[in-house]
Structures are given as C-alpha cells and as structure tokens.
Chain A
C-alpha cells in the first residue's frame, strides 16, 4: 500500500496525454451522444398524449417543452424522459394547454368549404373530427382552424361527430357547441333536410341540449312553363305527395287542352299550407296565356307571360286574387300578345274547327255554367274571332240523346248563349254572335256509346 502511494507521485506525466484523449473524446462524442439521447427521449414519449412536443438535448441534459392535457400527463412525460438511460437532468418546460371557458367548437359551411373552428380536447379527437368531416362531405374542402384546449364537456367527441353528419345536410350555415349547448343556423340543402336534422339531434349524447335550431328549409318551389312552340306544358319542382301530384296532373290535363304535359314533379315534404288550392287556380291562369311561366315559391306566386287579348289581363288578375287561399301572394306580370294577322272567313272557320277538334268547351253537368277549366280554350276562340272582325258567327249548342228532347233543346240553347255571353264579356260586339240550340237533332257520332255521346255534346262555331 505504501508502494502505491510512492508510485502514484510519478503517475502525473500520463495525465498530459489523458487530457488530449479527453479533449478528443469530448469533441467527437458530444453530438452523437446528444442525438442518441434525443432519439431515445422521443421514443419514450411515444405513448404520452402531448401537443407541440419539442426535445432539446445539451450534453446529457434534456429540455422537454410540450403542451400537456392534464397534470398527470405532464408528470408522466417528465418521468418517462427521466427514465431514459444516460439522461442526467430533465428540464421540464411542459405546460398545460389553456382551458377554454366556455368550451366552444364550431363547424361552418359556405358554398365551397367547411371550416372547423374553436377548440378540440385532444389531438386524437381533432384528427378524428377532421377525418369524419372529410368522409361525410366527400369532395368539399375542409379547413382546420381548431385549437386544442382543456375543459371539453363529457362525450364531446360523440356530439361533435353527430353534428358533423348534419353539416352535410346544410347548404350553408353554422353548427356550434358551447359547453353543452348546441346551436344551429343556416339553410338546409334539400327539402326535408331541416326535419332530418331535427330528428338526428334527438340522438345527441346525454348532457347536451339544443340552445337554438334556426335551420331554415329551402324554398318550396313549383314551376310550370307553357311553351307555345313545342306545344308543351312543363311541370317541375315539388309536390307534397302522390295524391296531390295526381290531382295537379289531372288539372293540368283538363286546363291545357292542346299541350302535352311534361311532368317532372317530385314529391317532397315541406309544402306550404293550401298548396293545391293555390296551384290549381294558378295553373288555370297560366292556361289563359299564350306563353307564360308560373313560379310558386313558398307562398308566393309569380305569373308572367302574354295574354291573348286585352280584356283577359284584368280577368286573369281578378281570378287569381279571388281563387287563392288566404296568406298567398300573387305577382302577375302579364302583357298582351301582339294580335295576329287578320284572315278571311274560310280560314277563320278552319281555325275554329281545329281548336274545337282539339278541345271542347265544358259545362257543369246538366247545366249551362261554363267549367272554369275551359277558360284557356275560350281565350283561343276569342283570339281567333278577333282575327276575322267582319265575320258573323253562329254559336251552335248540341246535346246527346239522353233525357227529354225539350230539356236538351233548352240546355243546348242556354249553353250556346252562355258561350256567347262569355265572348261579349270579353269585349266582342254582341251583334256578331248568334246563339242557337239544336238539342240532339244533329249528332256527329252514334248515341249508343258513351264515347259517341261525349262527341255529340258540343259547341260549334260556324262562320256565316
């Protein structure tokens, strides 16, 4: 032992190369050591839920800076790095993410994109929400402006995912959660969307409640377009159900005697009340136009087009104002079609015959009242009469053989007179028209069949 002390006094010269060795070791090993420790620390933190994690290593000391979501999370992150072999000191620069009071999350949709904003509780739920938004909105750009915050209500994720499903049903609008209150605003994409959203909201997780649901339904639109060139009536838009659909199609068939009805209507809920009561008279008004468009938007009716003659315009307006259910508004923009060139009597007769071959003037059964569905045809007859202003016209009423001859005779006379009165009311000079009833004396078809009888019940216009 004594020798060891004696010898040790002579060990000092070796420290000079030792210092050189140490300097080399320090110079060459510092950076690899630091990156090795950084890699080990990072992998030690893999299972810890942190945001904005930053690890810096100086020598064997690790600085860990991160946003943690709970005190436990902070402690376990520091402990995990302290347990990494080779780490000497851990400088804890973690902090808790700020607590949001109130905890607000929102999804806002405009035409081109959906913006997710406000707070999300954890990185995992944030990415789940983003993924769900992209999946349910296929093709729409999703913009993420969410921040991470503490203080989310329980079952936040479930509520937010359910609400994200609803944003797909909106055309534009905003859905927000504030603590446990849900508020919605905007315009539903489809008719029925508002109702579908309201139904889905019943499945909100326990604890959440609706503070405001101001989702509006899109306007309920029904359109009809009368095209005189293609001789069609095109119906588009919505009807409440199949019964109403059938009723409207039947009414269109009666009122538009020569046009082909192109029916593109779809059934959808959300119709304003009194829909049929408003649409049928509006179609009647459209049938009196030479060309025209009818647009029913919620409870507003917009009718535009050309009437056949001047006196028809106030008649159409008055008819609409009278027939529409309460609460409906009309905006009629009706002009008058330029009058057609005059023709001679022969052509006039031909035009009358053509018109009356396509459609018949209808009356109430067994009576002389003109069916309002015939207004369109009568307008066309009046327009034709205006083209031959000098011709005198006999309006001839005919019946089938059902019933007594005397009754039929009277009925045919009254019906012919009713038509003549209608023409006079439309501004034609009464002197040009004579109304004659022929009863069943001049059949044009057999009276043995219903079809033949229907042909025999008629009004003819004869140019004299």
Chain B
C-alpha cells in the first residue's frame, strides 16, 4: 500500500480533492440521494470488491487495476467525508449568529 501511495500520489491526491469537492457540495445540494436499498447494495458490492482485492483473487493487470480503483475510491470517500464535515461546520457557524 505504501508503495502504491508513493508511486501514485498524484492520482490519489486528485481523487481526494475530487472527494473533498463532492463532499462540500453534497451538504447543501437539494437533489434526491440514493435510496437506502441501493446504498446497501452498493456497500455490499464495495465490500465484495475489497474482499476480492484482499484475497488477491484477481490475477495480473486486472488485479492491479482493482487495487488502484479501491484505493482511489477509499480516498475519494475520505475526501467526501472531510468535505461534508467542513461544509457543515462552516454552515452551522454562519447560521448561529444569524
């Protein structure tokens, strides 16, 4: 993992920044989110992929691409979480005085 991080820091940073931006937007967005059922399915899919990666079940290049995708996705999620939390903090602080 450390090797992937040092070798791909540029792409991982981009994924993080993308997540940060998405998280920032998500707090104030009015649109419809994914339904609970769908998100459960998506979580299950993500868990299955993580399991496949950890088990090293997929050989060769596809295996590497899966690892890369999952790492980027994890950093994206982390970026989203941080972004949303930051936006929420900013919004609630500006709302209080008003």
Residues on A lying within 8 angstroms of B by beta carbon are 3-4, 6-15, 17-18, 21-22, 24-26, 29-30, 33, 36, 58-61, 85-86, 88-89
Q: Which residues of A contact B29 (CB under 8 A)?
A: 10
B56 and A7 contacting across the interface, CB-CB below 8 Å = no
1/0 per residue, CB under 8 A from A, across B44-70: the answer is: 000000000000100111111101110
- Size bracket of the B interface: 35 or more
Q: Which residues of A contact B18 (CB under 8 A)?
A: 14, 17-18, 21
Q: Which residues of B contact A18 (CB under 8 A)?
A: 15, 18-19, 72-73, 76
Q: Once the chains are docked, how many angstroms separate the CA of A61 from the CA of B60? A: 6
- Chain B residue at smallest Cβ distance from A59: B64
Q: Once the chains are docked, how many angstroms separate the CA of A121 from the CA of B68? A: 44
Q: What would 25 A/B residue contacts be, using CB atoms closer than 8 Å?
A: A7-B23, A7-B84, A8-B26, A8-B39, A10-B26, A11-B23, A12-B33, A14-B18, A14-B19, A15-B73, A18-B76, A21-B14, A22-B68, A22-B69, A25-B72, A26-B64, A29-B8, A30-B64, A30-B65, A59-B61, A59-B62, A60-B63, A60-B67, A86-B3, A89-B63
1/0 per residue, CB under 8 A from A, across B73-98: the answer is: 10011001100110010000000000
Chain B nearest CB, measured from A343 CB (Å): 109
Chain B nearest CB, measured from A457 CB (Å): 111
* Chain A interface, DSSP helix/strand/loop, else mixed: helix
Q: Identify the 8 closest CB pairs spanning chains A and B, nearest first.
A: A9-B33, A59-B64, A14-B22, A86-B3, A58-B60, A10-B26, A25-B11, A7-B84
B59 and A4 contacting across the interface, CB-CB below 8 Å = no
A86 and B72 contacting across the interface, CB-CB below 8 Å = no
Given contacts A10-B31, A29-B7, contact A85 B2 (CB under 8 A): yes
B3 and A3 contacting across the interface, CB-CB below 8 Å = no
Question: 19 new A-B pairs (CB below 8 Å) besides A10-B29, A11-B80?
Answer: A7-B88, A8-B26, A8-B80, A9-B33, A9-B34, A18-B18, A18-B72, A21-B14, A21-B18, A22-B65, A22-B68, A25-B11, A29-B7, A29-B68, A33-B64, A59-B60, A59-B64, A61-B63, A86-B7
Q: Which residues of B contact A3 (CB under 8 A)?
A: 84, 88
- Chain A residue at smallest Cβ distance from B77: A11
Q: Which residues of B contact A7 (CB under 8 A)?
A: 23, 26-27, 80, 84, 88
Chain A nearest CB, measured from B83 CB (Å): 9
Given contacts A3-B84, A10-B26, contact A26 B34 (CB under 8 A): no
Chain A nearest CB, measured from B57 CB (Å): 11
Chain A nearest CB, measured from B41 CB (Å): 12
Chain B nearest CB, measured from A35 CB (Å): 12
Q: Once the chains are docked, how many angstroms separate the CA of A58 from the CA of B68? A: 14
Q: Once the chains are docked, how many angstroms separate the CA of A261 from the CA of B15? A: 104
B11 and A88 contacting across the interface, CB-CB below 8 Å = no
Q: Which residues of A contact B39 (CB under 8 A)?
A: 8-9
A4 and B84 contacting across the interface, CB-CB below 8 Å = yes
Chain A nearest CB, measured from B45 CB (Å): 12
B59 and A89 contacting across the interface, CB-CB below 8 Å = yes
Chain A nearest CB, measured from B60 CB (Å): 4
A58 and B61 contacting across the interface, CB-CB below 8 Å = yes
Chain A nearest CB, measured from B4 CB (Å): 7
Chain A nearest CB, measured from B18 CB (Å): 6
Q: Once the chains are docked, how many angstroms separate the CA of A31 from the CA of B94? A: 49
- Chain B residue at smallest Cβ distance from A27: B65
B84 and A59 contacting across the interface, CB-CB below 8 Å = no
Chain A nearest CB, measured from B72 CB (Å): 5
Q: Which residues of A contact B60 (CB under 8 A)?
A: 58-59, 61
B67 and A88 contacting across the interface, CB-CB below 8 Å = yes
The contact of A30 among B14, B26, B61, by CB within 8 Å, is B61
